[in-house]
Amino acid sequence: MENVYTGCIYGDGDERRYRAKVFKSGNSLALRLPKALGLREGTEMRVREEAGHFVVERAEPAPRKINLDGIWGAIPGLKPLSPEDRVFEERELDWDGKLLKRD
């Protein structure tokens, strides 16, 4: 197996070619990509094999989660429920709407 691969990276109608070298990193192999690609360290990439060639592309970002740490305590009336407040009385549900008061 060779340790140097040549791949094509397509831009706005122009084909740009870069050489990338595969090297050993710990117990894995890594692909060193040229800085000219504009990738940042830590960018997650997806590698797939297609018709005997490797295709390297950016992975879709993971869905963002809302972090509420910054607003915790910002609403004075909002307090965590105590265990006593979490208890509620069971009641029969009015599925047919018989208990609804209508004019």
Rounded distance between C-alpha atoms, residue 29 and residue 48, angstroms: 15
Can you give the residue ranges of every domain in the chain? Answer: 4-58
pTM surpassing 0.75?
Answer: no
In sign, the C-alpha dihedral spanning 79, 80, 82, 86 is: positive
**71-77 — which CB contacts under 8 Å span 24+ positions?**
none
Band (1; pLDDT cuts 50, 70, 90): very low
Q: What is the pLDDT of residues 21-64, one digit of tens each?
A: 888 999 998 888 888 888 888 888 888 998 888 888 888 888 88
Share of the chain above pLDDT 90, in %: 5
2 has pLDDT over 80: no
Question: E strands along 1-103, which residues?
Answer: 4-10, 15-25, 28-32, 45-50, 53-58
Q: How far is CA 47 from CA 57, 58, 59, 72, in A?
A: 7, 9, 9, 40
Residue 27 has a pLDDT of: 92
Please give the mean pLDDT across all residues of the chain.
Answer: 77
Q: Which two tokens stand for residue 65?
A: 């989660």
Q: What is the pLDDT of residues 5-16, one digit of tens each?
A: 445 554 455 667
